[in-house]
Structure 1
Amino acid sequence: MPASSGPDLWVAGLFAAALSAVMMTAIVGVRYLITSGLFAWITGRVRPGLYKGLGGQIRREIGWSLLSAAIYGLPAGIAAWGWQARGWTRIYTDPAAWPLWWMPLSLLVYLALHDTWFYWTHRWMHRPRPFRIAHAVHHASRPPTAWAAMSFHPVEALTGAVVIPVLVFLVPIHAAMLGLVLTIMTVMGITNHMGWEIFPRRLVHSRIGHWLITASHHHRHHENYRCNYGLYFRFWDHLCGTDRGLSAP
């Protein structure tokens, strides 16, 4: 039986990459519905009535978020295919492949690089034209809810979707640490938009809290727009003079 030709292999690879993107889109979408739904349910129990009258806004948030899931799923699916089918990425599964101390350090490196990218692209999107074209969609959530974490215009979704897929081609990371990065990204994205502070007051107002972003910090951004641009850490906000402290969600 003749071996597969070059074009046939290329088409098979393209199909496999496309299938991976579709599957990743479904995973991101279902993850969003489950996690945002869970925190929305918690909000209803802890802060009953907080989302009262926001039904139309929440439906728009879900619609934009599911569109964002497709945009996030495309580069994520290609990266997953490149890892599993081609070995192109720096993701590894053998803990002995790199020193053990690199595992927690790689987590911090990914979060720091993601946070840096987010701060500067987010700040750029608050310039008049990018805000009007794209970022206004996210700020249409007044106040934001647990469903707003992925409520982005496609342009904004694309700026967020490429970060982790690009990093896995450049920076070595254990698969478990990558899973932890994605978990932190999901939880922080949702809890920062819930409209109330889920973390203990002692943490939020502690020395550690001075450097971490929680709902109390990010809610101030949704109130004032021109401050508090970070995602995980307040480092860039402190350094660039854009930190305006905490709100009281």
Structure 2
Amino acid sequence: MELVLPVLLSALAMTLIIGVRYLLSSGFFAWLTNRIRPGQYSRLELQMGRERRWSLASAAIYGVPAGIVAWGWQNAGWTQIYTDINMYPIWYLPASLFLYLFAHDTWFYWTHRLFHRPSWFRIAHAVHHDSRPPTAWAAMSFHPVEAISGAIVIPALVIAVPIHVGVLAIVLLIMTVMGVTNHMGWEMFPRWLVQGSLGKGLITASHHEKHHELYRGNYGLYFRFWDKVCGTDIGLGTFDDNSARRGNG
């Protein structure tokens, strides 16, 4: 009991942190969408309310393993998170950043592809694709089964792979921003990046929009690597500029 209560409190704290992070990040990009593309989310109020409910439920699921790991890092040495920047060579900082992003992307690609098999889609992934079109609030709109698959990957990595606490913060920032901006329904990054050499390897909203349009291919999260290797890269989607004026007649 002496151990259970602190771990539960840590899980509750992480749930609140993740929930607030979601509300702030998705709320900011939803606000930005309304400013830059007025009418983009017109008549989607019921859908956005549903996205928020599923996402906050997902925040609770993400909070449990995150809270356990956070307590274990601070009190039991369960993780490979370190604070002394000199513990590993300086080159390991960017290397660990890429390693975490690539490992997360690999996990996401294969689990995402699994969730598109008919039985798994009906059980869980249909919740995410019920957002038509997706909005900035859809970033964490998952069925609990799918939320569990996403909640365990970063906690598993910090137990197995050394990472500086600052680099971990960058990983979480990238994960949050990409998760939201890939679902906004418009492309915030410049054309030269999306359609240039960088865009051939990175995923932005244009790439993920194609996935939501066709329900097949473009399964990655950060990189197009696995989609290209496995022949599931179906290119970039387009955005209907008229949708930005839906609320303006």
TM-score normalised per structure 1: 0.95
- CA shift, 1:55, in A, is 0.3
1:3 counterpart residue number: none
Aligned partner letter, 1:161: A
- Within a 5 Å distance, the mapping from 1:148-167 to structure 2 comes to 148-167=138-157
Aligned: 1:193 with 2:183? yes
2:15 counterpart residue number: 25
Q: CA RMSD in A?
A: 0.5
- Write the distance in 2 (CA, Å) between the matches of 1:192 and 1:168: 25
- Write the distance in 2 (CA, Å) between the matches of 1:90 and 1:99: 15
Aligned partner letter, 1:62: R
Aligned: 1:205 with 2:229? no
Deviations for 1:159-184, whole angstroms, at most 9, x for unmatched residues? Answer: 00000000000000000000000000
Q: Which has the higher contact order (CA 8 A, sep 6+)?
A: 2
Aligned: 1:183 with 2:173? yes
2:5 counterpart residue number: 15
- Write the distance in 2 (CA, Å) between the matches of 1:103 and 1:86: 24
Percent identical among aligned pairs is 66
1:6 counterpart residue number: none
**Helix, strand or coil for the counterpart of 1:169?**
helix
1:120 counterpart residue number: 110
- Write the distance in 1 (CA, Å) between the matches of 2:121 and 2:232: 18
- Write the distance in 2 (CA, Å) between the matches of 1:63 and 1:51: 17
Moved over 2 A (4+): none
- Write the distance in 1 (CA, Å) between the matches of 2:107 and 2:25: 24
**Helix, strand or coil for the counterpart of 1:87?**
coil
- Decide which structure has the larger Cα Rg and report it: 1
Unaligned 5+ segments in structure 2 are 240-249
- CA shift, 1:236, in A, is 0.3
Deviations for 1:120-147, whole angstroms, at most 9, x for unmatched residues? Answer: 0000000000000100000000000000
Aligned: 1:43 with 2:52? no
Unaligned 5+ segments in structure 1 are 1-10
Aligned partner letter, 2:195: H
Aligned partner letter, 1:155: V
Aligned residues: 239
Deviations for 1:72-129, whole angstroms, at most 9, x for unmatched residues? Answer: 0000000100000111100000001111110110000000000000000000000000
- Write the distance in 1 (CA, Å) between the matches of 2:119 and 2:195: 36
Aligned: 1:235 with 2:225? yes
